[in-house]
Structure 1
Amino acid sequence: MKARRSTTGLPRAEGDATQGRRNPLGATTGRRSRVRSWPAADSRKRTAARQRAEEAELQQGVRYRRAFVVLLGAVIAVSALVVLLGTVGLFTETRSRPLTSAEQSRYQQEEIARRWQAWPATGVFPEEVRYLGLDRAQQYARRVGIAPETECGKGVDASVAGVLQNHGCVTLLRATYIDQTATFVFTVGVAVLKDEESRVSAGEELTQDDRVGVLPVAFPGTVTERFGPDQRQRTSWVGAGPYIVFSTGGYADGRTRAAIPPEEILHSELWPAAKSIGNQIAYFLADPPTVPPCTQGNVC
Protein backbone atom coordinates (compact mmCIF):
# COMPACT_ATOMS: atom_id res chain seq x y z
CA MET A 1 0.00 0.00 0.00
CA LYS A 2 1.56 3.27 -1.17
CA ALA A 3 2.06 6.06 1.09
CA ARG A 4 0.92 9.55 0.16
CA ARG A 5 2.77 12.66 0.84
CA SER A 6 1.12 15.21 2.82
CA THR A 7 1.24 18.89 2.05
CA THR A 8 3.99 19.23 4.60
CA GLY A 9 6.25 16.89 2.77
CA LEU A 10 6.00 14.02 5.26
CA PRO A 11 4.75 10.64 4.18
CA ARG A 12 1.39 9.70 5.43
CA ALA A 13 -0.37 6.36 5.12
CA GLU A 14 -3.36 6.25 2.88
CA GLY A 15 -5.38 4.40 5.40
CA ASP A 16 -4.68 6.86 8.21
CA ALA A 17 -7.70 6.88 10.43
CA THR A 18 -7.41 10.58 10.87
CA GLN A 19 -7.47 11.41 7.20
CA GLY A 20 -10.13 13.79 6.22
CA ARG A 21 -11.32 14.25 9.88
CA ARG A 22 -10.96 17.97 10.71
CA ASN A 23 -12.80 20.17 13.19
CA PRO A 24 -14.84 23.10 12.02
CA LEU A 25 -11.93 25.53 12.59
CA GLY A 26 -9.71 23.56 10.19
CA ALA A 27 -7.38 21.97 12.77
CA THR A 28 -7.05 18.27 13.01
CA THR A 29 -8.89 16.56 15.77
CA GLY A 30 -5.82 15.12 17.33
CA ARG A 31 -3.87 18.39 17.66
CA ARG A 32 -3.96 20.07 21.15
CA SER A 33 -5.31 23.63 21.33
CA ARG A 34 -2.83 26.37 22.32
CA VAL A 35 -5.56 28.62 23.94
CA ARG A 36 -5.78 28.03 27.63
CA SER A 37 -9.23 28.48 29.11
CA TRP A 38 -9.73 30.14 32.55
CA PRO A 39 -11.59 28.22 35.12
CA ALA A 40 -15.18 29.33 35.70
CA ALA A 41 -14.45 29.92 39.38
CA ASP A 42 -11.92 32.70 38.59
CA SER A 43 -14.51 34.52 36.49
CA ARG A 44 -16.99 34.48 39.35
CA LYS A 45 -14.40 35.86 41.77
CA ARG A 46 -13.60 38.72 39.44
CA THR A 47 -17.26 39.58 39.06
CA ALA A 48 -17.78 39.50 42.81
CA ALA A 49 -14.73 41.72 43.40
CA ARG A 50 -15.95 44.19 40.81
CA GLN A 51 -19.36 44.26 42.43
CA ARG A 52 -17.85 44.85 45.85
CA ALA A 53 -15.75 47.74 44.48
CA GLU A 54 -18.81 49.27 42.86
CA GLU A 55 -20.80 48.88 46.07
CA ALA A 56 -17.99 50.50 48.10
CA GLU A 57 -17.79 53.37 45.64
CA LEU A 58 -21.55 53.78 45.78
CA GLN A 59 -21.54 53.81 49.59
CA GLN A 60 -18.78 56.44 49.60
CA GLY A 61 -20.81 58.59 47.22
CA VAL A 62 -23.83 58.21 49.50
CA ARG A 63 -21.75 59.32 52.51
CA TYR A 64 -20.40 62.34 50.62
CA ARG A 65 -23.91 63.27 49.53
CA ARG A 66 -25.20 63.00 53.11
CA ALA A 67 -22.34 65.17 54.38
CA PHE A 68 -23.02 67.75 51.67
CA VAL A 69 -26.74 67.78 52.45
CA VAL A 70 -26.03 68.22 56.19
CA LEU A 71 -23.54 71.04 55.52
CA LEU A 72 -25.91 72.78 53.11
CA GLY A 73 -28.73 72.48 55.63
CA ALA A 74 -26.54 74.01 58.34
CA VAL A 75 -25.58 76.93 56.09
CA ILE A 76 -29.22 77.55 55.20
CA ALA A 77 -30.26 77.36 58.85
CA VAL A 78 -27.54 79.81 59.96
CA SER A 79 -28.40 82.20 57.12
CA ALA A 80 -32.08 82.06 58.00
CA LEU A 81 -31.26 82.74 61.65
CA VAL A 82 -29.11 85.75 60.73
CA VAL A 83 -31.85 87.14 58.47
CA LEU A 84 -34.44 86.57 61.19
CA LEU A 85 -32.33 88.30 63.86
CA GLY A 86 -31.60 91.20 61.50
CA THR A 87 -35.28 91.58 60.68
CA VAL A 88 -36.23 91.52 64.34
CA GLY A 89 -33.50 94.06 65.17
CA LEU A 90 -34.53 96.36 62.33
CA PHE A 91 -38.17 96.17 63.36
CA THR A 92 -37.27 96.85 66.98
CA GLU A 93 -35.12 99.82 66.00
CA THR A 94 -37.55 101.40 63.56
CA ARG A 95 -40.88 100.67 65.17
CA SER A 96 -42.63 103.53 66.86
CA ARG A 97 -41.98 103.67 70.59
CA PRO A 98 -42.23 106.24 73.39
CA LEU A 99 -39.36 108.74 73.56
CA THR A 100 -37.08 108.54 76.56
CA SER A 101 -36.41 111.59 78.73
CA ALA A 102 -32.97 112.00 77.16
CA GLU A 103 -34.46 111.83 73.65
CA GLN A 104 -37.11 114.40 74.52
CA SER A 105 -34.47 116.77 75.89
CA ARG A 106 -32.29 116.30 72.80
CA TYR A 107 -35.28 116.91 70.52
CA GLN A 108 -36.01 120.22 72.26
CA GLN A 109 -32.37 121.35 72.16
CA GLU A 110 -32.00 120.55 68.46
CA GLU A 111 -35.29 122.24 67.60
CA ILE A 112 -34.34 125.42 69.47
CA ALA A 113 -30.79 125.46 68.07
CA ARG A 114 -31.94 125.52 64.43
CA ARG A 115 -34.62 128.15 64.78
CA TRP A 116 -32.37 131.03 63.75
CA GLN A 117 -31.99 129.26 60.37
CA ALA A 118 -35.33 127.47 60.09
CA TRP A 119 -37.38 130.55 60.89
CA PRO A 120 -37.59 133.54 58.55
CA ALA A 121 -36.00 136.77 59.79
CA THR A 122 -39.48 138.05 60.59
CA GLY A 123 -39.94 135.02 62.84
CA VAL A 124 -36.84 135.81 64.87
CA PHE A 125 -37.76 139.50 64.98
CA PRO A 126 -41.58 139.83 64.97
CA GLU A 127 -43.18 142.92 63.56
CA GLU A 128 -44.52 143.83 66.99
CA VAL A 129 -43.16 142.95 70.42
CA ARG A 130 -45.10 143.46 73.60
CA TYR A 131 -43.48 145.28 76.51
CA LEU A 132 -44.56 146.88 79.80
CA GLY A 133 -44.62 150.67 80.03
CA LEU A 134 -45.18 152.97 82.96
CA ASP A 135 -47.43 151.59 85.67
CA ARG A 136 -46.97 148.21 83.98
CA ALA A 137 -49.18 149.25 81.11
CA GLN A 138 -48.96 146.81 78.21
CA GLN A 139 -47.62 148.43 75.06
CA TYR A 140 -46.13 147.31 71.74
CA ALA A 141 -42.82 148.14 70.08
CA ARG A 142 -42.83 148.20 66.29
CA ARG A 143 -40.02 146.84 64.14
CA VAL A 144 -38.39 149.43 61.88
CA GLY A 145 -35.93 147.19 60.07
CA ILE A 146 -33.76 144.06 60.13
CA ALA A 147 -30.03 144.40 59.54
CA PRO A 148 -28.09 141.97 57.32
CA GLU A 149 -26.54 139.01 59.12
CA THR A 150 -23.02 139.86 60.23
CA GLU A 151 -19.97 138.42 61.94
CA CYS A 152 -20.08 138.34 65.73
CA GLY A 153 -17.07 140.62 66.03
CA LYS A 154 -18.57 143.34 63.83
CA GLY A 155 -21.89 143.86 65.57
CA VAL A 156 -20.78 144.31 69.19
CA ASP A 157 -18.17 146.26 71.11
CA ALA A 158 -14.62 144.93 71.01
CA SER A 159 -14.56 143.63 74.59
CA VAL A 160 -17.74 141.63 73.94
CA ALA A 161 -16.55 140.45 70.52
CA GLY A 162 -13.48 138.75 72.01
CA VAL A 163 -15.60 136.71 74.41
CA LEU A 164 -18.06 135.65 71.73
CA GLN A 165 -15.36 134.62 69.29
CA ASN A 166 -13.48 132.64 71.92
CA HIS A 167 -16.58 130.55 72.57
CA GLY A 168 -17.48 129.75 68.99
CA CYS A 169 -19.99 132.42 68.06
CA VAL A 170 -21.49 131.52 64.69
CA THR A 171 -23.22 134.72 63.59
CA LEU A 172 -25.04 137.84 64.81
CA LEU A 173 -28.57 138.92 63.91
CA ARG A 174 -29.88 142.44 64.63
CA ALA A 175 -33.08 144.43 64.30
CA THR A 176 -34.25 147.86 65.47
CA TYR A 177 -37.59 148.76 67.08
CA ILE A 178 -39.29 151.94 68.27
CA ASP A 179 -41.70 152.25 71.16
CA GLN A 180 -45.39 152.96 70.82
CA THR A 181 -44.87 156.73 71.05
CA ALA A 182 -41.82 156.79 68.73
CA THR A 183 -39.82 158.36 71.59
CA PHE A 184 -37.39 155.50 72.22
CA VAL A 185 -35.27 153.43 69.85
CA PHE A 186 -34.14 149.88 70.62
CA THR A 187 -31.70 147.55 68.88
CA VAL A 188 -31.84 143.85 69.67
CA GLY A 189 -28.94 141.57 68.75
CA VAL A 190 -29.02 137.75 68.76
CA ALA A 191 -25.59 136.11 69.00
CA VAL A 192 -25.77 132.48 67.87
CA LEU A 193 -23.38 130.19 69.76
CA LYS A 194 -22.56 126.67 68.63
CA ASP A 195 -24.42 125.09 71.57
CA GLU A 196 -25.92 125.88 74.94
CA GLU A 197 -22.77 124.92 76.85
CA SER A 198 -20.77 127.45 74.86
CA ARG A 199 -23.37 130.10 75.56
CA VAL A 200 -23.18 129.46 79.30
CA SER A 201 -19.39 129.65 79.23
CA ALA A 202 -19.47 132.89 77.26
CA GLY A 203 -22.01 134.40 79.64
CA GLU A 204 -19.71 133.77 82.57
CA GLU A 205 -17.06 135.97 80.94
CA LEU A 206 -19.22 138.79 79.65
CA THR A 207 -18.77 142.07 81.46
CA GLN A 208 -21.58 143.64 83.46
CA ASP A 209 -20.67 147.07 82.13
CA ASP A 210 -23.92 148.52 80.76
CA ARG A 211 -22.00 150.80 78.40
CA VAL A 212 -20.93 147.97 76.09
CA GLY A 213 -22.89 145.35 74.20
CA VAL A 214 -24.63 145.29 70.84
CA LEU A 215 -23.95 148.13 68.40
CA PRO A 216 -27.08 150.05 67.30
CA VAL A 217 -28.48 149.72 63.78
CA ALA A 218 -29.96 152.91 62.33
CA PHE A 219 -32.15 153.01 59.23
CA PRO A 220 -31.90 156.25 57.22
CA GLY A 221 -35.16 158.03 56.56
CA THR A 222 -36.77 156.72 59.75
CA VAL A 223 -36.92 157.95 63.34
CA THR A 224 -33.97 155.63 64.09
CA GLU A 225 -31.46 157.37 61.81
CA ARG A 226 -29.83 159.27 64.69
CA PHE A 227 -29.37 156.19 66.88
CA GLY A 228 -25.66 155.39 67.17
CA PRO A 229 -23.17 154.07 69.77
CA ASP A 230 -23.05 157.39 71.61
CA GLN A 231 -26.85 157.50 71.87
CA ARG A 232 -27.02 154.21 73.76
CA GLN A 233 -28.22 154.90 77.28
CA ARG A 234 -27.75 151.39 78.61
CA THR A 235 -27.10 147.85 77.33
CA SER A 236 -27.89 144.40 78.64
CA TRP A 237 -28.08 140.75 77.60
CA VAL A 238 -29.92 137.55 78.48
CA GLY A 239 -29.10 133.91 77.68
CA ALA A 240 -31.59 131.52 76.08
CA GLY A 241 -30.66 128.13 74.67
CA PRO A 242 -27.59 128.60 72.44
CA TYR A 243 -28.40 132.31 72.03
CA ILE A 244 -27.25 135.47 73.80
CA VAL A 245 -29.83 138.18 73.20
CA PHE A 246 -28.44 141.72 73.59
CA SER A 247 -30.59 144.83 73.87
CA THR A 248 -29.85 148.51 74.00
CA GLY A 249 -32.01 151.65 73.95
CA GLY A 250 -31.78 155.37 73.39
CA TYR A 251 -33.78 158.45 72.50
CA ALA A 252 -35.07 158.99 68.99
CA ASP A 253 -34.04 162.64 69.10
CA GLY A 254 -30.36 161.72 69.22
CA ARG A 255 -29.55 162.60 72.82
CA THR A 256 -26.33 160.99 73.98
CA ARG A 257 -25.76 159.13 77.22
CA ALA A 258 -23.60 161.95 78.49
CA ALA A 259 -26.42 164.43 77.95
CA ILE A 260 -28.87 162.61 80.22
CA PRO A 261 -28.60 162.99 84.02
CA PRO A 262 -28.06 159.61 85.73
CA GLU A 263 -31.15 159.98 87.88
CA GLU A 264 -33.29 160.45 84.78
CA ILE A 265 -31.97 157.26 83.25
CA LEU A 266 -32.73 155.31 86.40
CA HIS A 267 -36.35 156.44 86.51
CA SER A 268 -37.02 156.49 82.79
CA GLU A 269 -39.38 154.15 80.97
CA LEU A 270 -36.70 153.59 78.34
CA TRP A 271 -34.63 150.98 80.10
CA PRO A 272 -37.46 148.70 81.34
CA ALA A 273 -38.86 148.77 77.82
CA ALA A 274 -35.50 147.85 76.28
CA LYS A 275 -35.03 144.90 78.63
CA SER A 276 -38.60 143.74 78.12
CA ILE A 277 -38.21 143.71 74.33
CA GLY A 278 -34.96 141.73 74.53
CA ASN A 279 -36.50 139.25 76.94
CA GLN A 280 -39.51 138.75 74.69
CA ILE A 281 -37.36 137.89 71.68
CA ALA A 282 -35.25 135.54 73.83
CA TYR A 283 -38.45 133.87 74.98
CA PHE A 284 -39.62 133.36 71.40
CA LEU A 285 -36.34 131.72 70.43
CA ALA A 286 -36.03 129.41 73.43
CA ASP A 287 -39.69 128.57 74.00
CA PRO A 288 -39.70 124.74 74.44
CA PRO A 289 -41.38 123.09 71.46
CA THR A 290 -44.05 120.44 71.76
CA VAL A 291 -42.31 117.07 71.78
CA PRO A 292 -44.07 114.16 70.05
CA PRO A 293 -44.61 111.28 72.49
CA CYS A 294 -43.30 108.64 70.11
CA THR A 295 -40.38 108.21 67.75
CA GLN A 296 -42.71 108.26 64.72
CA GLY A 297 -45.25 110.82 65.79
CA ASN A 298 -48.15 110.67 68.16
CA VAL A 299 -48.84 106.95 67.86
CA CYS A 300 -46.60 104.35 69.48
Structure 2
Amino acid sequence: MNARRSTSGLPRAGDESTPERKNPLGATTGRRSRVRSWPAADSRKRTAAAQRAEQLQLEQGVRYRRIFVSLLTVVVVVSAVVVLLGTVGLFTETRSRPLTPDEQNQYKQEEIARRWEAWPATGVFPEEVKYLGLDRAQQYARRVGIAPETECGKGVDASVAGVLEEHGCVTMLRATYVDQTASFVITVGVAVLKDEESRVSAGEELGQDDRVGVLPVAFPGTVTERFGPEQRQRTGWVGAGPYLVFSTAGYADGRTRAAIPPEEILHSELWPTAKSIGNQIAYFLADPPKVPPCTQGNVC
Protein backbone atom coordinates (compact mmCIF):
# COMPACT_ATOMS: atom_id res chain seq x y z
CA MET A 1 0.00 0.00 0.00
CA ASN A 2 1.30 3.50 -0.89
CA ALA A 3 2.20 5.75 1.94
CA ARG A 4 -0.21 8.53 2.62
CA ARG A 5 0.89 12.07 1.95
CA SER A 6 0.33 14.91 4.28
CA THR A 7 -2.62 17.02 3.54
CA SER A 8 -0.34 20.07 3.55
CA GLY A 9 1.48 18.80 0.45
CA LEU A 10 4.94 19.23 2.07
CA PRO A 11 7.22 16.31 2.13
CA ARG A 12 7.66 14.62 5.39
CA ALA A 13 10.76 14.27 7.26
CA GLY A 14 12.79 11.37 6.09
CA ASP A 15 11.34 11.48 2.59
CA GLU A 16 14.29 10.46 0.41
CA SER A 17 12.91 12.25 -2.59
CA THR A 18 13.50 15.68 -1.03
CA PRO A 19 17.09 16.98 -1.63
CA GLU A 20 19.05 18.22 1.37
CA ARG A 21 20.77 21.70 1.35
CA LYS A 22 24.04 22.46 3.04
CA ASN A 23 25.08 25.78 4.46
CA PRO A 24 28.53 27.28 3.71
CA LEU A 25 29.93 25.70 6.88
CA GLY A 26 29.00 22.26 5.68
CA ALA A 27 25.99 21.79 7.99
CA THR A 28 22.91 20.41 6.45
CA THR A 29 19.86 22.61 6.65
CA GLY A 30 16.47 22.46 5.32
CA ARG A 31 16.37 26.21 4.48
CA ARG A 32 18.19 28.25 1.75
CA SER A 33 21.29 30.07 3.11
CA ARG A 34 21.27 33.84 2.86
CA VAL A 35 24.67 35.80 3.24
CA ARG A 36 24.43 39.52 3.85
CA SER A 37 26.83 41.56 1.65
CA TRP A 38 29.40 44.02 3.32
CA PRO A 39 28.14 47.54 2.97
CA ALA A 40 30.18 49.57 0.36
CA ALA A 41 32.21 52.61 1.49
CA ASP A 42 30.56 55.88 1.02
CA SER A 43 31.56 57.46 -2.33
CA ARG A 44 31.77 60.92 -0.81
CA LYS A 45 34.30 59.75 1.75
CA ARG A 46 36.43 58.17 -0.95
CA THR A 47 36.33 61.35 -2.99
CA ALA A 48 37.27 63.47 0.02
CA ALA A 49 40.19 61.18 0.88
CA ALA A 50 41.45 61.31 -2.69
CA GLN A 51 41.18 65.08 -2.70
CA ARG A 52 43.08 65.32 0.58
CA ALA A 53 45.86 63.09 -0.76
CA GLU A 54 46.06 65.14 -3.92
CA GLN A 55 46.14 68.33 -1.90
CA LEU A 56 49.00 66.97 0.25
CA GLN A 57 51.00 66.04 -2.84
CA LEU A 58 50.40 69.47 -4.32
CA GLU A 59 51.47 71.23 -1.13
CA GLN A 60 54.60 69.05 -0.95
CA GLY A 61 55.42 69.87 -4.58
CA VAL A 62 54.98 73.57 -3.85
CA ARG A 63 57.35 73.32 -0.88
CA TYR A 64 59.97 71.52 -3.00
CA ARG A 65 59.59 74.10 -5.74
CA ARG A 66 60.06 76.95 -3.26
CA ILE A 67 63.21 75.28 -1.88
CA PHE A 68 64.58 74.75 -5.42
CA VAL A 69 63.81 78.33 -6.42
CA SER A 70 65.46 79.62 -3.24
CA LEU A 71 68.61 77.55 -3.85
CA LEU A 72 68.72 78.60 -7.49
CA THR A 73 68.35 82.24 -6.47
CA VAL A 74 71.25 81.92 -4.02
CA VAL A 75 73.43 80.31 -6.69
CA VAL A 76 72.59 83.02 -9.21
CA VAL A 77 73.25 85.81 -6.71
CA VAL A 78 76.58 84.31 -5.61
CA SER A 79 77.64 83.81 -9.23
CA ALA A 80 76.69 87.37 -10.07
CA VAL A 81 78.73 88.69 -7.13
CA VAL A 82 81.75 86.61 -8.14
CA VAL A 83 81.53 87.81 -11.74
CA LEU A 84 81.14 91.41 -10.58
CA LEU A 85 84.14 91.20 -8.27
CA GLY A 86 86.19 89.56 -11.02
CA THR A 87 85.20 92.24 -13.49
CA VAL A 88 86.08 95.01 -11.04
CA GLY A 89 89.41 93.34 -10.26
CA LEU A 90 90.22 92.85 -13.95
CA PHE A 91 89.33 96.45 -14.72
CA THR A 92 91.43 97.67 -11.83
CA GLU A 93 94.37 95.53 -12.92
CA THR A 94 94.22 96.32 -16.63
CA ARG A 95 93.23 99.96 -16.61
CA SER A 96 95.93 102.41 -17.52
CA ARG A 97 97.76 103.83 -14.50
CA PRO A 98 101.09 105.53 -13.80
CA LEU A 99 104.11 103.22 -13.56
CA THR A 100 105.70 102.87 -10.15
CA PRO A 101 109.45 103.53 -9.79
CA ASP A 102 110.10 99.78 -9.54
CA GLU A 103 108.09 99.17 -12.72
CA GLN A 104 109.99 101.91 -14.53
CA ASN A 105 113.31 100.38 -13.50
CA GLN A 106 112.14 96.92 -14.57
CA TYR A 107 111.04 98.29 -17.93
CA LYS A 108 114.50 99.79 -18.49
CA GLN A 109 116.32 96.60 -17.52
CA GLU A 110 114.16 94.39 -19.73
CA GLU A 111 114.49 96.75 -22.70
CA ILE A 112 118.28 96.90 -22.38
CA ALA A 113 118.64 93.15 -21.82
CA ARG A 114 116.85 92.23 -25.05
CA ARG A 115 118.63 94.68 -27.34
CA TRP A 116 121.38 92.26 -28.40
CA GLU A 117 118.66 89.99 -29.80
CA ALA A 118 115.99 92.50 -30.80
CA TRP A 119 118.36 94.81 -32.67
CA PRO A 120 119.94 93.84 -35.98
CA ALA A 121 123.67 93.18 -35.91
CA THR A 122 124.22 96.57 -37.52
CA GLY A 123 122.37 98.12 -34.57
CA VAL A 124 124.72 96.55 -32.05
CA PHE A 125 127.75 97.41 -34.19
CA PRO A 126 127.06 100.65 -36.10
CA GLU A 127 128.79 101.26 -39.40
CA GLU A 128 130.58 104.28 -37.93
CA VAL A 129 131.53 105.01 -34.34
CA LYS A 130 132.73 108.37 -33.08
CA TYR A 131 135.90 108.64 -31.04
CA LEU A 132 138.34 111.36 -29.96
CA GLY A 133 141.69 111.50 -31.76
CA LEU A 134 144.72 113.70 -31.28
CA ASP A 135 143.98 117.05 -29.67
CA ARG A 136 140.53 115.62 -28.82
CA ALA A 137 139.45 116.01 -32.39
CA GLN A 138 136.29 114.05 -33.19
CA GLN A 139 136.95 111.25 -35.65
CA TYR A 140 135.08 108.17 -36.93
CA ALA A 141 136.04 104.53 -36.84
CA ARG A 142 134.67 102.45 -39.72
CA ARG A 143 133.29 98.94 -39.32
CA VAL A 144 135.04 96.39 -41.55
CA GLY A 145 132.96 93.31 -40.75
CA ILE A 146 130.77 91.48 -38.24
CA ALA A 147 131.72 87.97 -37.14
CA PRO A 148 129.13 85.22 -36.76
CA GLU A 149 127.67 84.83 -33.28
CA THR A 150 129.67 82.34 -31.26
CA GLU A 151 129.86 80.65 -27.87
CA CYS A 152 131.37 82.77 -25.13
CA GLY A 153 134.27 80.37 -24.58
CA LYS A 154 135.26 80.49 -28.25
CA GLY A 155 135.42 84.28 -28.49
CA VAL A 156 137.83 84.99 -25.65
CA ASP A 157 141.03 83.64 -24.10
CA ALA A 158 140.73 80.54 -21.93
CA SER A 159 141.22 82.34 -18.61
CA VAL A 160 138.40 84.75 -19.44
CA ALA A 161 136.18 82.01 -20.85
CA GLY A 162 136.10 80.19 -17.50
CA VAL A 163 134.82 83.28 -15.71
CA LEU A 164 132.16 84.02 -18.31
CA GLU A 165 130.87 80.47 -18.42
CA GLU A 166 130.76 80.27 -14.63
CA HIS A 167 128.46 83.29 -14.52
CA GLY A 168 126.06 82.17 -17.23
CA CYS A 169 127.33 83.88 -20.35
CA VAL A 170 124.75 83.45 -23.10
CA THR A 171 126.63 84.32 -26.28
CA MET A 172 129.42 86.38 -27.80
CA LEU A 173 129.07 89.02 -30.53
CA ARG A 174 132.12 90.47 -32.29
CA ALA A 175 132.94 93.04 -34.95
CA THR A 176 136.16 94.65 -36.20
CA TYR A 177 136.76 98.37 -36.88
CA VAL A 178 139.60 100.49 -38.22
CA ASP A 179 140.34 104.04 -37.15
CA GLN A 180 139.93 106.99 -39.47
CA THR A 181 143.50 106.69 -40.73
CA ALA A 182 143.23 102.88 -41.18
CA SER A 183 146.36 102.53 -39.02
CA PHE A 184 144.73 100.79 -36.06
CA VAL A 185 142.57 97.66 -36.04
CA ILE A 186 140.09 97.20 -33.19
CA THR A 187 137.92 94.17 -32.44
CA VAL A 188 134.98 94.76 -30.12
CA GLY A 189 133.36 91.78 -28.39
CA VAL A 190 130.03 91.87 -26.54
CA ALA A 191 129.58 89.09 -23.97
CA VAL A 192 125.88 88.72 -23.13
CA LEU A 193 125.32 87.68 -19.52
CA LYS A 194 121.96 86.41 -18.23
CA ASP A 195 121.38 89.55 -16.13
CA GLU A 196 123.13 92.59 -14.73
CA GLU A 197 123.92 90.91 -11.40
CA SER A 198 125.76 88.14 -13.22
CA ARG A 199 127.69 90.68 -15.24
CA VAL A 200 128.79 92.51 -12.08
CA SER A 201 129.89 89.24 -10.46
CA ALA A 202 131.83 88.21 -13.57
CA GLY A 203 133.51 91.60 -13.78
CA GLU A 204 134.72 91.29 -10.19
CA GLU A 205 136.52 88.06 -11.08
CA LEU A 206 138.14 89.19 -14.30
CA GLY A 207 141.81 90.00 -13.92
CA GLN A 208 143.56 93.16 -14.99
CA ASP A 209 145.90 91.44 -17.45
CA ASP A 210 145.75 93.55 -20.63
CA ARG A 211 147.17 90.67 -22.67
CA VAL A 212 144.02 88.55 -22.52
CA GLY A 213 140.45 89.27 -23.41
CA VAL A 214 138.48 89.06 -26.64
CA LEU A 215 140.06 87.21 -29.58
CA PRO A 216 140.61 89.33 -32.70
CA VAL A 217 138.51 88.82 -35.83
CA ALA A 218 140.30 89.40 -39.14
CA PHE A 219 138.60 89.68 -42.54
CA PRO A 220 140.67 88.46 -45.50
CA GLY A 221 141.13 90.94 -48.31
CA THR A 222 140.84 93.92 -45.97
CA VAL A 223 143.25 95.98 -43.93
CA THR A 224 142.39 93.77 -40.95
CA GLU A 225 143.61 90.48 -42.44
CA ARG A 226 146.90 90.50 -40.49
CA PHE A 227 145.26 91.10 -37.12
CA GLY A 228 145.57 88.04 -34.87
CA PRO A 229 146.16 87.16 -31.21
CA GLU A 230 149.89 87.93 -31.47
CA GLN A 231 149.18 91.36 -32.93
CA ARG A 232 147.06 92.47 -29.94
CA GLN A 233 148.78 95.35 -28.19
CA ARG A 234 146.27 95.79 -25.35
CA THR A 235 142.88 94.50 -24.28
CA GLY A 236 140.24 95.75 -21.86
CA TRP A 237 136.53 95.65 -21.05
CA VAL A 238 133.70 97.78 -19.70
CA GLY A 239 130.42 96.73 -18.10
CA ALA A 240 127.05 97.97 -19.30
CA GLY A 241 123.73 96.47 -18.22
CA PRO A 242 123.99 92.69 -18.65
CA TYR A 243 126.87 93.13 -21.14
CA LEU A 244 130.63 92.95 -20.84
CA VAL A 245 132.03 94.90 -23.79
CA PHE A 246 135.59 93.84 -24.60
CA SER A 247 137.97 95.64 -26.93
CA THR A 248 141.42 94.83 -28.25
CA ALA A 249 143.61 96.75 -30.67
CA GLY A 250 146.68 96.29 -32.86
CA TYR A 251 148.45 97.81 -35.84
CA ALA A 252 147.20 97.24 -39.35
CA ASP A 253 150.72 96.48 -40.54
CA GLY A 254 150.79 93.28 -38.46
CA ARG A 255 153.30 94.27 -35.81
CA THR A 256 153.21 92.00 -32.80
CA ARG A 257 153.09 93.07 -29.18
CA ALA A 258 156.59 91.70 -28.68
CA ALA A 259 157.89 93.98 -31.43
CA ILE A 260 156.66 97.15 -29.73
CA PRO A 261 158.59 98.71 -26.82
CA PRO A 262 156.54 98.78 -23.59
CA GLU A 263 156.77 102.58 -23.46
CA GLU A 264 155.19 102.92 -26.87
CA ILE A 265 152.38 100.52 -25.95
CA LEU A 266 151.51 102.60 -22.89
CA HIS A 267 151.68 106.00 -24.57
CA SER A 268 150.43 105.19 -28.03
CA GLU A 269 147.27 106.76 -29.45
CA LEU A 270 146.13 103.24 -30.36
CA TRP A 271 144.72 102.26 -26.98
CA PRO A 272 142.70 105.43 -26.25
CA THR A 273 141.14 105.01 -29.68
CA ALA A 274 140.22 101.37 -29.04
CA LYS A 275 138.90 102.12 -25.57
CA SER A 276 136.75 104.99 -26.87
CA ILE A 277 135.21 102.77 -29.57
CA GLY A 278 134.41 100.04 -27.04
CA ASN A 279 132.86 102.56 -24.67
CA GLN A 280 130.69 103.98 -27.44
CA ILE A 281 129.27 100.57 -28.30
CA ALA A 282 128.64 99.87 -24.59
CA TYR A 283 126.84 103.20 -24.36
CA PHE A 284 124.59 102.32 -27.30
CA LEU A 285 123.61 99.02 -25.70
CA ALA A 286 122.96 100.36 -22.20
CA ASP A 287 121.51 103.77 -23.03
CA PRO A 288 118.38 104.03 -20.83
CA PRO A 289 115.26 103.89 -22.98
CA LYS A 290 112.42 106.35 -22.73
CA VAL A 291 109.92 104.90 -20.28
CA PRO A 292 106.20 105.43 -20.95
CA PRO A 293 104.53 107.16 -17.99
CA CYS A 294 101.57 104.77 -17.89
CA THR A 295 100.98 101.04 -18.14
CA GLN A 296 99.16 101.47 -21.45
CA GLY A 297 101.17 104.20 -23.07
CA ASN A 298 101.24 107.93 -22.49
CA VAL A 299 97.68 108.32 -21.21
CA CYS A 300 96.69 107.17 -17.72
How big is the shift at 1:222?
Answer: 1.1
- Structure 2 residue aligned with 1:119: 119
Give yes or no for the alignment of 1:192 onto 2:192: yes
Q: Which residue of 2 aligns with 1:252?
A: 252
Aligned to 1:85: 85
For the residue of structure 2 that corresponds to 1:255, the secondary structure is: coil
Give the secondary-structure state (helix, strand or coil) at the position aligned to 1:297: coil
How far is 1:100 from its partner? 1.6
Any idea what SS the aligned residue of 2:130 has?
strand
Alignment-derived partner of residue 171 in structure 2: 171
Q: Which amino acid counterpart does residue 69 of structure 2 have in structure 1?
A: V
1:150-195, CA deviations, whole angstroms, 9 ceiling, x for partnerless residues?
Answer: 1111111111011111111111111111111111111100011111
Q: Which AA in structure 2 matches 1:238?
A: V
Instruction: Give the aligned residue type for 1:101.
Output: P
The residue aligned with 1:234 is 234
Letter in 1 for 2:279: N
The answer on 1:272 being equivalent to 2:269 is no
Cα separation, 2, equivalents of 1:71 and 1:43: 42
Distance in 2 between residues matched to 1:152 and 1:140, nearest whole Å: 28
How many residues align? The count is 270
2-structure distance, mates of 1:217, 1:37? 124
CA distance in 1, matches of 2:40, 2:246: 120
| CA distance in structure 2 between the partners assigned to 1:153 and 1:10 by the alignment | 146
TM-score under structure 2 length normalisation? 0.85
Q: Which residue of structure 2 aligns with residue 147 of structure 1?
A: 147
Gap regions ≥5 residues in structure 2: 1-8, 12-33
Q: CA deviation at 1:203?
A: 0.5
Instruction: Provide structure 1 residue ranges, at least 5 long, that are not aligned to the other structure.
Output: 1-8, 12-31
Letter in 2 for 1:119: W
Q: TM-score, normalised by structure 1?
A: 0.85
User: Given the alignment of the two structures, is residue 288 of structure 1 paired with residue 293 of structure 2, yes or no?
Assistant: no
**Partner Cα distance (1:108, 1:10) in 2:** 138
More deviation in 52-61 or 212-221? 52-61
CA distance in 2, matches of 1:65, 1:52: 20
| Distance in 2 between residues matched to 1:38 and 1:166, nearest whole Å | 106
CA RMSD in angstroms, aligned pairs only: 2.0
Match of 2:22 in 1: none
Cross-structure match for 1:213: 213
Counterpart of 2:130?
Answer: 130
